[in-house]
Amino acid sequence: MFDFIIRLRARPLAYRRKVALWSAVGLTALIALIWGISLSMRFDDVVTPPTATTPEAPGPFETFMGQVQSGFSSIKDSFDKK
């Protein structure tokens, strides 16, 4: 590693800056990867309590279809009685 630094000092400034940039990007990516893995391991043990399910009110389409069905059944009943 020490030899690499000595050879790097002999290179032009633009090359040294490029090496510094990519070294910083690589180190940041490594830290982010380790952090992401540790977060996923930390939250794997978290158990969420079950939520109470409340019956939802029927939507407008369901209400409309219920009315249509009741209308057809009343028409059918009126024909069956005759």
Give tens-digit pLDDT for 15-68. Answer: 999 999 999 999 999 999 999 888 877 776 666 677 767 777 888 888 888 898
Residue recorded with tokens 């069905």: 69
Number of domains in the chain: 1
Report which secondary-structure segment, H or E, holds 46. none
In a domain, 54, yes or no: no
Query: Mean per-residue pLDDT for 64-77?
Result: 86
In a domain, 67, yes or no: no
Note down the domain range covering 35: 1-44
pLDDT band at 12 (very low <50, low <70, confident <90, very high): very high
Residue recorded with tokens 């978290």: 46
In a domain, 36, yes or no: yes
Residues 6+ apart with CB under 8 A from 15: 8
In a domain, 52, yes or no: no
Q: Please, are residues 6 and 14 in contact by the beta-carbon 8 Å criterion?
A: no
pLDDT of residue 38: 87
Distance in angstroms (rounded) separating the CA atoms of residues 44 and 67: 47
Here the tokens at position 54 are 């409340």
In a domain, 55, yes or no: no
